[in-house]
Amino acid sequence: MKRCRWMAVFLVVIPMTLVAQLFHRSDLIFPEAAALTIGTWGGEAHAWSSSKLKLLLLPPLAASVAVAGNVLHVPTLLAFLFMVAAIPMLLDRLNSALIPTISAGALPTLFDITSAWFLLVVFAITATLSLGLYIGDLFMKGKALQVSESEIDHSSIDAISSDLAHVEDSNSVPKGEPKAAGGRDQNDIDEDIPKSPLSRRRILIWFIAISLSWTIVTWWITPHAALAPPLFVSFYEWMKSSNRTFGRYWRRWLSITLAISIGTFVHHEIKNYALSALVSISIAFFMMLLLGEIHPPTLAIALLPLIFTATIPVERAIDVSLSIAVLYGLGLYLPKVIRYRKLAIEL
C-alpha cells in the first residue's frame, strides 16, 4: 500500500513537465517537486510535512527572493552563497526540517531564472501538496472517529472512557515529535532529526562551512552541474543523519550516480519533457528499491538533465557524481578528523 503512494509523484511532476513541454521552457521545471511529493505524500521524509503552512510558503518565498535577485542583477556567486547559507539558517530559526527549500532558492540563482512563471509553478506544487496533506488528515480523522463510534458499548461507562482515550491517542503524537500527515506513523521517517539545539547548530555550521567552501573552490573550475541544488539538499540530509557509515555512503553515492546517469541517458533519447520525466522517475524508483536506499532527493537528481543545456550531458553527469562523492565524504570524515586532532592536542 505504501508503494502505491509513490505513484502520487506523477500527479505533480507530469503536469509540470507537460506545461514545460507545451511552452518549450525548461525554466518551468522544478526538479525538487519529485522529492517533495515522495517525502510528504509518500511518507519517506515525514518531518517535511510536519507543518502544512511552512510547506506551502517556504519554497515559494525562497524562490521569490532568488528570482528578485536575478532581476536586480545581483552577482550570481554572491547570490548562490547567500542562498546556501541563509536558507538553512532560516529553517533552523523556524524549527523546520523542510530542506528542499534550499533547492527552491538556489536553483533559480544558479540557472539565472527570472520568469515569474517559475514562481507560480513552485507555488502550485507546494499548494497541491499542502492541500493533499490537509485532505488526508481530514480523511484519517473521520475514519478514526467512525471506528470509535462503532465500538462504543453504551452499557459501560468505563468502555466509553477507554474508547475515547484510544481515539485521542490515535490522533496524537509523542511530545516533541511532528504530527504524522495523513495518519502515517513515525516509523515512516527515513532519517532521525537531531533533537538537541546544540547538535542541530553544530550540523548547520558544518553544512554551511563545507557547502560554501565547495562552491568557491569549484565555481571557476567545473560546470555548475557540480553545484546542482538537489545535491545540497541531499548533503544536508546526510549531515543530519545519525547513520553516516561507509556502507551507506557507498549506497547513496551509487544511487545518486545511477539516477543522474539514467536521467541523462533518458533525456538524451527522449526529448519530450513529460515522457522523459515519467521514464526517469520510474527507473530511478525501482533502482532505489533494489539498492534498499529510499532517498527522496535522488528523484530530484534524476530530473536535473531536464534543465541542463544540451551540451556535454555526459560530463555533467560525471560532475554530479563526483560532487556528491566529495560532499558526502567530507561530511563523513572531516568532523571526525578534526575531533581526533583536537583530542590529540589536548592530550
Give residue limits of the domains in the chain: 2-346
Q: Express as a percent the part of the chain with pLDDT over 90.
A: 56
Q: Dig out the grid coordinates for 303 from the structure.
A: 530530473
CA distances for 78 relative to 83, 84, 118, 224, 292, angstroms: 9, 10, 21, 14, 38
Residue 236 pLDDT: 94
The rounded distance, in Å, linking the Cα atoms of 319 and 302 is 14
Task: For residue 178, name the pLDDT band (cuts at 50, 70, 90).
Answer: very low
Task: For residue 186, name the pLDDT band (cuts at 50, 70, 90).
Answer: very low
Q: Other C-beta atoms within 10 Å of 93: how many?
A: 8
* Residue 197 pLDDT greater than 60, yes or no: yes
Q: Dig out the grid coordinates for 143 from the structure.
A: 475514519
Residue 311 pLDDT: 56
Residue 341 pLDDT: 52
DSSP 8-state assignment for residue 306: G
Q: Is residue 107 within 8 Å of residue 232, measured between CB atoms?
A: no
State residue 193 phi and psi, 5-degree precision: -95, 130
Q: Is residue 97 within 8 Å of residue 193, measured between CB atoms?
A: yes
Average pLDDT taken over every residue of the chain: 82
What does the pLDDT average to over 130-151? 76
The rounded distance, in Å, linking the Cα atoms of 104 and 16 is 15
Nearest to 260, CA basis, from 274, 241, 280: 280
* Residue 191 pLDDT greater than 60, yes or no: no
Q: Burial letters for 31-64: b for 16+ Cβ neighbours within 10 Å, e otherwise?
A: bbbbbbbbbbbbbbbbbbbbbbebbbbbbbbbbb
Nearest to 201, CA basis, from 328, 304, 83, 93: 93
pLDDT in tens, 306-337: 988 655 567 888 899 999 999 999 988 876 66
What does the pLDDT average to over 172-191? 40
The rounded distance, in Å, linking the Cα atoms of 332 and 200 is 16
Lowest average pLDDT, out of 47-56, 192-201, 203-212, 297-306, goes to 192-201
Task: For residue 143, name the pLDDT band (cuts at 50, 70, 90).
Answer: low
Residue 66 pLDDT: 97
The rounded distance, in Å, linking the Cα atoms of 139 and 142 is 5
Residue 84 pLDDT: 96
State residue 196 phi and psi, 5-degree precision: -80, 140
Q: Burial letters for 108-128: b for 16+ Cβ neighbours within 10 Å, e otherwise?
A: bbbbebeeeebbebbbbbbeb
The rounded distance, in Å, linking the Cα atoms of 134 and 325 is 38
The one-letter amino acid code at 320 reads V
The rounded distance, in Å, linking the Cα atoms of 48 and 59 is 12
* Residue 204 pLDDT greater than 80, yes or no: yes
The model's pTM is 0.83
Task: For residue 164, name the pLDDT band (cuts at 50, 70, 90).
Answer: very low
* Residue 169 pLDDT greater than 90, yes or no: no
The rounded distance, in Å, linking the Cα atoms of 293 and 41 is 18
Q: Is residue 231 within 8 Å of residue 281, measured between CB atoms?
A: no
pLDDT in tens, 257-293: 999 999 999 998 898 999 999 999 999 999 998 988 8
* Residue 45 pLDDT greater than 80, yes or no: no
CA distances for 49 relative to 35, 238, 258, angstroms: 12, 19, 27
Cell 530511478, located at residue: 284
Grouping H, G, I as helix, E, B as strand and the rest as coil, residue 274 is helix
Cell 523542510, located at residue: 98
Q: Express as a percent the part of the chain with pLDDT over 70.
A: 78
